Structure 1
Amino acid sequence: MLAKVKVPPEFKCNPFFFAQDVIVFQPPLLRGETHQQPAFIYDIVAKEEELPEAPWNSLEDCIPPLFIEWKNQEKILHEQFSIRKVTNAKEVITEWSGRFLSALFWINGRSIQGLTALEADIQKLTYKPVNTSERLLFLLKKPGMYHSFVQLSELYKELQKQYAIKRIRLKK
């Protein structure tokens, strides 16, 4: 059975949930299935209630599957762009940009508190790709463009490296 949650005002930011009032998702929110749920759903639900399986508390269960699923989606988008038959690039890039943002914050051990002060919040993070804020702003302005896809692909590659760095530092 599907569940609904109201989108808080601090998450209503273009292009995410600009005119949307609710998000529909499939409960329960399990940390190993983060890539199968809508972007930001864990962060939004965590504002209302305690999440027993919060992804930012168990990175090993949620980050690697997210990266694997992005690789699959990246191949599909690349093929579509190469034959110039991209029908839903804007929606897919926007969705995966949201998932990137969640993963970025989760790798830093926290949830996203909102999207309205995103640039300032990103600056405070320890593990992040170079110029993350500027690059994200670029791709979110025109998410259907090929250059936005390339930028998002590079951000994911760099985030994967930052995740590896964090894992190495935690093992020391």
Structure 2
Amino acid sequence: MTQSISLKVPAELDHPFFFPEKETILEKECYTGWNGSIPFEAFPYEILYYNNVVSYAPWTKGAMHIKELLEKWKGIDTECSILFSERKAGRTLGLMKQGIGLFLNAVFWMHGKPVVLSDCRVQIESFYNIPVNAAERVSFILARPASFHSYRQLSELFREFEKLYVKFMIINKNNRNV
């Protein structure tokens, strides 16, 4: 029997796009380990972490999970592409929210940190393995998440990030902690 708990959205994750409400409900047991088949919820591991609830911390082994995040994006990318080609941009918002969340997870986790939305731009600018102008591009996407131009930017960010990730993994292939 899984136990749902109500948690305050921590200051580190307080962002109206992802959390219009100040509280969220999570099934704590789902996050005691890594389970890639969990349906999308915005930053569940971080919510638990910032609320001092013991759970798995994927950023401690972030590079290990990035390949899976990139695969999830490929499915979202395909769906968005179809919706935009059918001129159904209004139906992309939920998918874009998931995609932006996956991108932020990938970037932060590869750098061994939990996602921080409240200071996102400064945090991203402090990272070394990121696409050019990533912070500005993420800001642009968050300002107009359901627009075709934001989708194209996010798609490009993922493409560029995947190249950086592959390079990172090659350079660190003998490092067991990656």
Bin the TM-score by the shorter chain. Answer: 0.7 to 0.9
1:99 and 1:105, CA in 2 relative to 1: closer, same or farther beyond 3 A? same
User: What residue number does 1:24 align with?
Assistant: 25
Name segments (4+ residues, structure 1) moved above 4 Å. Answer: none
Percent identity of equivalent pairs: 30
Q: Is the 8 A contact 1:39 1:96 kept in 2?
A: no
- Residue range with higher mean Cα deviation, 132-141 or 26-35: 26-35
Q: TM-score, normalised by structure 1?
A: 0.87
Is 1:127 equivalent to 2:132 in the alignment? no
Distance in 1 separating the partners of 2:148 and 2:132: 20
Instruction: Work out the number of aligned pairs and report it.
Output: 169
Give a deviation string over 1:86-121, Cα, whole Å, max 9, x none: 342123212321221111000111112x31211111
- Residue range with higher mean Cα deviation, 83-92 or 71-80: 83-92
Question: Secondary structure of 1:24's match?
Answer: strand
1:118 and 1:166, CA in 2 relative to 1: closer, same or farther beyond 3 A? same
1:15 corresponds, among 14, 17, 20, to 17
Distance in 2 separating the partners of 1:164 and 1:23: 34
Unaligned runs of 5+ in 2: none
Question: Secondary structure of 1:31's match?
Answer: coil
Question: Secondary structure of 1:158's match?
Answer: helix
Which residue type is aligned with residue 86 of structure 1?
A
Distance in 2 separating the partners of 1:104 and 1:165: 14
Give a deviation string over 1:111-164, Cα, whole Å, max 9, x none: 12x312111111111211110011011111011100100111111111111211
Which residue type is aligned with residue 5 of structure 1?
L
Distance in 2 separating the partners of 1:163 and 1:46: 25
Which residue type is aligned with residue 157 of structure 2?
L
Distance in 2 separating the partners of 1:170 and 1:70: 24
Is 1:117 equivalent to 2:125 in the alignment? no
1:62 and 1:117, CA in 2 relative to 1: closer, same or farther beyond 3 A? same
Unaligned runs of 5+ in 1: none
User: What residue number does 1:77 align with?
Assistant: 80
Q: In the TM superposition, what are the counterparts of 1:7-156 in structure 2 within 5 Å?
A: 7-17=9-19, 19-26=20-27, 27-29=29-31, 30-33=33-36, 36-47=39-50, 48-51=52-55, 53-59=56-62, 61-112=64-115, 114-156=116-158
Q: Is the 8 A contact 1:67 1:160 kept in 2?
A: yes
1:59 and 1:158, CA in 2 relative to 1: closer, same or farther beyond 3 A? same
Question: Secondary structure of 1:25's match?
Answer: strand
